[in-house]
Amino acid sequence: MRDGFIKVAAATPYVQVADCRANAREILRLIKEMAARQAKIMVFPELCLTGYTCGDLFYQKVLLDGAKEELLHIAKETMHIDALIFIGFPLEYQDKLYNTAAVLNRGEIIGFVPKSHLPNYGEFYEARHFTSGKGLRGQILFGMRLVPVSDQLIFACQEMEGLLVAAEICEDLWVPQPPSIAHAQAGARILVNLSASDEVVGKDTYRRELALGQSARLVCGYVYATAGEGESTQDLVFGGQNLIAENGVFLAEGRRFENSVLYGDIDLSRLGSERRRMNTFAPTNQEGYTYIPFHVTIAPTTLDRKYPANPFVPQDPKERACRCDEILQIQAMGLKKRLAHVGSTQAVVGLSGGLDSTLALLVIARAFDLLALPRKNILAVTMPCFGTTDRTYTNACLLAKKIGATLQEVDIKEAVTVHFRDIGQPLDRCDVAYENAQARERTQVLMDLANQKGALVVGTGDLSELALGWATYNGDHMSMYGVNGSVPKTLVRYLVEYYAQTCGEETLSQVLQDILDTPVSPELLPPADGKISQKTEDLVGPYELHDFFLYYMLRCDYSPRKIYRIASKVFQDVYTKDVILHWEKTFYRRFFSQQYKRSCLPDGPKVGSVAVSPRGDLRMPSDAQAALWLEELETLSKSGNL
């Protein structure tokens, strides 16, 4: 439960129809199993204490009394279970029968939530036995305790802020306006659904879409537990397709036709952050809602949740290919509009033989194709200087040729040497001025060439470099339109790789592959034995770590401690904890200190959910202090709790 996580579980017991005692034993067995896995929210299917398929046996007082007796027995046996438990139960109340979720916590029954929408079509005939609980408000004396009965109950944890849970039952999700909408607007961050949804061809896909879509629309965790094997197969089969979703993403999915317990770690703090961020997620009037307190012990949670090492990059190859093509198209469409707007039929780009300028050239080529402009109107400029290696120079020349751009070489060594003489900079002093003078000279060349031709200078810097401030102010930091500004370095690689795999031209593919294999470097220091001596990741840290930090800081609003915890789990086989902590501190220091460079970025298209444009996504003061963020990491370091 640390860092805002809560472990939830959806369980499908082996039901014996109308045998409440046997079902109670099975439910208790599963509760103990889930408690051993640290689950704090446990959800069982609809009417699981009796079996959903009892039919007219629901008229029998023997069945109803047996269910009541066993629910009280379960409550007694779970006195020491530290969880909020939802069990499907037929409740007799004021001479009517309601299909409810009985809610238990530490040996007490603390609420009954009735089903609002009773299906009475096709294979369903619930209205034959049950009454809709829509609008029901009341209390029932149940086992010597007054228990609220209402379709507007929210269960609020007293120990964990934001842990508010509400329930709906099966068909409630399938109607035009599910109760979960009002529950979420009244504050519930976790919605549970006790279901008994039978299997017919194609229904599983629709069921998945409903649960996933509801979690996305309501910015919530959605826990769906449904009936499985054991229910009567007189006319129906139940598949036990349990689902756990969070804000449009499945955390876990059960296999159909296999009774199981499904676990997931829902991130309550992220859900709260998303709701705060979305001004269109408006809270509703809470009138009519009753908030029922419950208790769980705050304890560390073993995370079962999986986090991708590259959160900006889809893991599925097919999805990744589609995403890469989409991003290239977004970048190209942005540039296409800018070229058309300024009335330019030419573009200038500095081509270094590195990844970022390669991607920029590929995007320019696509934009020119969209505008039906000849690619020879693309001026690719290579500007060798003190740190340029034969490998990158050759690749830049080959790439320009294979793309069909016009290649121009401007050797800037002499110009930079003269500049050093003018400002009194020794040629053998390889400091920041030595490096940045080269970057600024290159930008001046590009701008002046663009002026000569009435062209647009297309920037090459990517999102990761902007986050770290790894750009020379008014050097490679500046352009007339930056196509890579919201593409992180880890994604740049996949975009270039995708182009290499799909371009259909062997030589071009080989050049792109060699560029991918080249170490990332600004090449501003002299080579060592003809090879790149200045490797970016040796200086600022691995981009895969920085992109990971960036995503979870900006997209998820995670704290430094929480990011460190997840990174330590994800990269445990790659980096030591000390190394991760070192580079995370570097990330925060650079992110805060370099905001002034992001405050005056050139225009460029947003392609994903994380961007640092001062005109859109990141309104951050340039002189904000990183002290609180770094202090949290220092505290973590001093505690020895790495």
Predicted TM-score (pTM) of this structure: 0.91
Catalytic residue among 20, 170, 220, 385: 170
pLDDT of residue 616: 86
Catalytic: 115? yes
* Residue range 450-478, pLDDT digits in tens: 999 999 999 999 999 999 999 999 999 99
Catalytic: 402? no
pLDDT of residue 282: 79
Q: Which among 220, 484, 222, 507 has a CA at the least distance from the CA of 355?
A: 484
Domain spanning 317-639 has what CATH number? 3.40.50.620
pLDDT of residue 533: 67
pLDDT value at 254 more than 70:
yes
Average model confidence (pLDDT) for the chain? 95
Contact 492, 359 (CB under 8 A): yes
Cα(210)–Cα(216) distance, rounded to whole angstroms?
10
Contact 211, 190 (CB under 8 A): no
Cα(25)–Cα(86) distance, rounded to whole angstroms?
16
Catalytic: 46? yes
Domain limits, CATH 3.60.110.10, in the chain: 2-294
Candidate from 3-7, 62-66, 79-83, 531-535 with smallest mean pLDDT? 531-535
pLDDT value at 640 more than 80:
no
Q: Which among 567, 535, 285, 522 has a CA at the least distance from the CA of 385?
A: 522
Region 193-198: mean pLDDT is 96
Region 207-218: mean pLDDT is 97
> pLDDT class for 447, splitting at 50, 70, 90?
very high
pLDDT value at 185 more than 70:
yes
The encoded tokens of residue 623 equal 């002189």
Q: Which among 532, 518, 538, 517 has a CA at the least distance from the CA of 388?
A: 532
Catalytic residue among 46, 253, 435, 465: 46
What are the respective helix, strand and coil percentages of the chain, to the nearest 5? 40, 20, 40
Cα(488)–Cα(564) distance, rounded to whole angstroms?
20
> pLDDT class for 641, splitting at 50, 70, 90?
low
Region 91-97: mean pLDDT is 97
Region 3-7: mean pLDDT is 93
Q: Which among 215, 286, 281 has a CA at the least distance from the CA of 244?
A: 215
Region 254-278: mean pLDDT is 95
* Residue range 523-564, pLDDT digits in tens: 778 888 777 767 788 889 999 999 999 999 999 999 999 999
Walk across the sheet containing 243-246 and list its strands.
Answer: 249-253, 243-246, 221-226, 190-195, 164-169, 153-157, 290-294
Domain spanning 2-294 has what CATH number? 3.60.110.10
Cα(220)–Cα(173) distance, rounded to whole angstroms?
14
Contact 50, 90 (CB under 8 A): yes
Catalytic residue among 7, 115, 489, 585: 115
Burial of 341 (0-12, 13-18, 19+ CB in 10 A): exposed
Cα(222)–Cα(226) distance, rounded to whole angstroms?
13
- Which residues lie closer than 8 Å to 300 by C-beta, 6 or more apart? 1, 2
* Residue range 406-418, pLDDT digits in tens: 999 999 999 999 9
- Which residues lie closer than 8 Å to 2 by C-beta, 6 or more apart? 298, 300, 301
* Residue range 299-319, pLDDT digits in tens: 877 888 899 999 999 999 999
